[in-house]
Amino acid sequence: MKLSLKYKIFLASGIWALLCLAVSLIVAFNLKSTEAAQTQVGNDTKVIQGFSNLLTIMVDMETGIRGYLLSGEDVYLEPFNAAEGKFEQQGRDLDAMLLNEPILQERLKKIRELKAEWIEGPVVETMLNRKKLTRALITQEQFVQGFKSSKSMSIANQIRSLVDQSLLELNQSLEKSLSIQSRSSRATFYSASGGLPLGVIIGFGLLTFIMIQVDRQIRVVVKSLENSCQKVFGTSQTLMSSGSELSENSKTITSRLVATAESVRNLIGMTSQNTEHAKVALQFTQESTRTAQRGGQEISDLTHAMGEIRNSASKINEISQLIDDIAFQTNLLALNAAVEAARAGEHGKGFAVVAEAVRSLAQRSATATNEIHVLIKENVESAEKGAGLADKAAVVFKDIIASVNKVNDLVNDVSSSSEKQSTEIQQISTAVQEVESECKSNLKISDQLGTYSEDLDLHSSSLQQAVAQLSQAIQGQGQLVSK
């Protein structure tokens, strides 16, 4: 099971803490045992001293009694009285110290009872006999006999026996407490001197193990960061170069689109102008058609008139004048048509030819009219000739009308095509404007991309420096990440 670094540290710290806690608990338990044993030793020592004092006080009391018995003077009772008070005080002190020792407390009670019995019985009796001896109420032999027969020695021995028994038990308890204290002290020493260094060694070992693991992981991370920094730096450089190239391309495309938009606007103007010219040419061709139709009608009338000439020579002058007028008007119309055909350019070439033919016919009509005036005498022949010419003129006018209709259709097609071209060019202009707007937006984005690339390059450099410092801190050497 793979644990994270955090849980590894927690686990190592927990093991070390548990080990230290166990050592601390052992040391604390041993210290407590040592303290308890030391307390018991102190109490036993005090109790032993108390019982020893009882023996000493008992000896002082016996010494005082002997002095009184030997001298018979009350002054020798003062040590006895003082020792008796000390005995009682020491008994009370021991009784307070033996609250948790019922056996010794009961024995102390017995000792105090025996002491009271010893004083109230044999001691008082012996002291009374000594006073009787002093007053000569009894003899020396009686006094000695009474002293020997008293229970003073027996009770004193019982008291000493009880005190000695208590001292023996207390000494055994003291030795036991001292042994416990010694073992606890040694256990505390061994626990402190062995457990703590062991805990330190284990803790240091765990810490070293963790540090090795951390060092390995950090080295891997640092290596990965170094590679990532190199890749990020290369990417930022490529991105910066691409952004610069994109910016330059966007600027070039924008300038070209501006020129294209200007050309399209000029083309729109020219197309609109061509459309207007086509409409004007259409009007002129329609007018020429109507004029040609009128000319055809006039030729028809001329033919009819020439027929009448055959019947009536009197009307030749009027017809001749009429023909002259028609020729003049036709000549004007032909001139106008030629001018308009010249304006129409390439589209008006065919119409110019027709106009020239019309003009030629008009001139011929004028010539014929002059000949009619000159050859009035030959009106019949001229009328017949004029009729033939009128028939030809009618055919020519039919051709003119057909040609003018074709020109009219062509001009109409040109006008319709120009309008369609104008609409399509307008759409192209709109599309060019939209592309120009998109190019400007791309140029702005490329500028922002350049700014972001510079920021990315700056952050990449900072990240490389941070990785270099981390690598230096881990490896302990001044190895820097090359840019």
DSSP string, 132-160: HHHTTSS-HHHHHHHHHHSSHHHHHHHHH
Q: For every residue of 434-456, which 3-state class applies, written as one string? A: HHHHHHHHHHHHHHHHHHHHHHH
* pLDDT mean over 184-196: 76
The pLDDT of residue 482 is 44
Q: Examine the pLDDT at 184 and tell me if it is beyond 70.
A: yes
Q: CB burial class (10 A; 0-12, 13-18, 19+) of residue 6? A: exposed
Distance of CA 78 to the CA centre of its chain: 100
CA–CA separation, 334 vs 422, rounded Å?
Answer: 32
328 and 450 both lie in a single domain: yes
Structure tokens at 402: 């057909």
Does 456 share its domain with 313? yes
What percentage of the chain carries pLDDT values higher than 70? 86
Q: Which amino acid is at 87?
A: F
405 Cβ partners below 8 Å, 6+ apart?
A: 289
Length of the chain: 483
Identify whether residues 196 and 289 lie together within a single domain. no
Residue 280 pLDDT: 77
Which residue range(s) make up the domain with 415? 244-463
Segment 38-42 long-range contacts (CB within 8 Å, at least 24 positions apart): 38/177, 38/181, 40/173, 40/177, 40/180, 41/174, 41/177, 41/178, 41/181
Angle of helix 379-475 relative to helix 349-374, nearest 10 degrees?
Answer: 170
Residue 483 has pLDDT above 50, yes or no: no
Average pLDDT over residues 438-457: 74
Same domain flag for 51 and 110:
yes
Q: What amino acid occupies position 274?
A: N
355-356-362-368 Cα dihedral, nearest 10 degrees: -150
Q: What is the dihedral of CA 304, 307, 311, 314, to 10 degrees?
A: 60
The yes-or-no verdict on residue 480 having pLDDT over 60 is no
260 and 113 assigned to the same domain: no
More confident residue, 326 or 348: 326
* Gap between the Cα atoms of 124 and 242, Å rounded: 130
Domain contains 158: yes
> Mean pLDDT, to the nearest integer, of 27-54?
81
Residues 268 and 198 reside in one and the same domain: no
172, part of any domain: yes
Residue type at 17 in one-letter notation? A
Confidence of residue 106 (pLDDT cuts 50, 70, 90): very high
Q: Are 186 and 37 in contact (CB under 8 A)?
A: no
What's the Rg (C-alpha) of the chain? 77
- Asked if 355 contacts 334 with a C-beta cutoff of 8 angstroms, the reply is yes
**Residue 173 corresponds to which amino acid?**
S
Of 183, 209, 235, the residue at which a domain comes to its end is: 209
Same domain, 65 and 170: yes
d(CA 287, CA 291): 6
> Over the stretch 301-322, which tens digit does the pLDDT of each residue have?
767 777 776 677 667 678 778 8
- Evaluate whether 359 touches 335 at the Cβ level (below 8 Å): yes
Q: Is 389 among the domain residues?
A: yes
Instruction: Please report which confidence band the pLDDT of residue 121 belongs to, taking 50, 70 and 90 as the band edges.
Output: confident
Q: Out of 164, 187, 209, pick the residue that ends a domain.
A: 209
pLDDT of residue 66 exceeding 70:
yes
**Assigned token pair, 337:** 């048509």
pLDDT band at 217 (very low <50, low <70, confident <90, very high): confident
pLDDT tens digits for range 335-388: 888 888 788 878 777 777 887 888 788 788 778 777 767 776 776 677 677 767
| Within a domain: 108 | yes
Give the mean model confidence (pLDDT) for residues 271-298: 75
Winning range, highest mean pLDDT, from 117-131, 296-310, 314-328: 117-131
Look at residue 37 and tell me whether its pLDDT is greater than 80. no
Q: Would you place residue 155 in the very low, low, confident or very high pLDDT band (cuts 50, 70, 90)?
A: confident
Contact 334, 362 (CB under 8 A): yes
* pLDDT at residue 287 tops 50: yes
- The pLDDT value given to residue 403: 76
The predicted pLDDT at position 269 comes to: 78
Same domain, 157 and 270: no
State whether 141 and 86 are in the same domain: yes
Say if 480 falls within a structural domain. Answer: no
Mean pLDDT over 181-198 rounds to 77
Tokens linked to 64: 């005082």
CATH code, 405: 1.10.287.950
Question: Chain-wide mean pLDDT for the chain?
Answer: 78
Vertex 305, ends 303 and 308: CA angle to 5°? 115
In this prediction, residue 246 carries a pLDDT of: 67
Residue 236 falls inside a structural domain: no
Same domain, 135 and 67: yes
pLDDT at 406 over 60: yes
Q: Are residues 278 and 147 in the same domain?
A: no
- The confidence score (pLDDT) of residue 411 equals 65
How far is residue 221's CA from residue 234's CA, in Å, rounded to a whole number? 20
Q: Which of 116-120, 254-258, 331-335 comes out lowest in average pLDDT?
A: 254-258
Task: Report the Cα–Cα distance between both ends of the chain, in Å, rounded.
Answer: 39
- Proportion of the chain above pLDDT 90, given as a percent: 1
pLDDT for 256:
77
| pLDDT, mean of residues 433-448 | 75
| 236 has a pLDDT exceeding 50 | yes
Q: Rounded to whole angstroms, how far apart are CA atoms 424 and 384?
A: 59
The DSSP symbol for 482 reads: -
Sign of the Cα torsion 440, 441, 443, 447 reads: positive
In a domain, 35, yes or no: yes
Name, in order, each residue with C-beta under 8 angstroms of 15's C-beta and a sequence gap of 6 or more. 202, 206
Q: How much is the pTM?
A: 0.38
pLDDT at 334: 78
Point out the least confidently predicted range of 109-113, 136-140, 356-360, 448-452: 448-452
pLDDT band per the 50, 70, 90 thresholds, residue 404: low
The answer to whether residue 294 is domain-embedded is yes
pLDDT at 475: 63
Between 278 and 291, the higher pLDDT residue: 291
Closest by Cα among 38, 342, 309, 19 to 179: 38
What's the structural domain count of the chain?
A: 2
Q: What percent helix, strand, coil does the chain show, rounded to 5? A: 95, 0, 5
Integer Cα distance of 290 and 68 in angstroms: 191
Read off the pLDDT band of 97 (50, 70, 90): confident
pLDDT at site 171: 92
Same domain, 259 and 407: yes
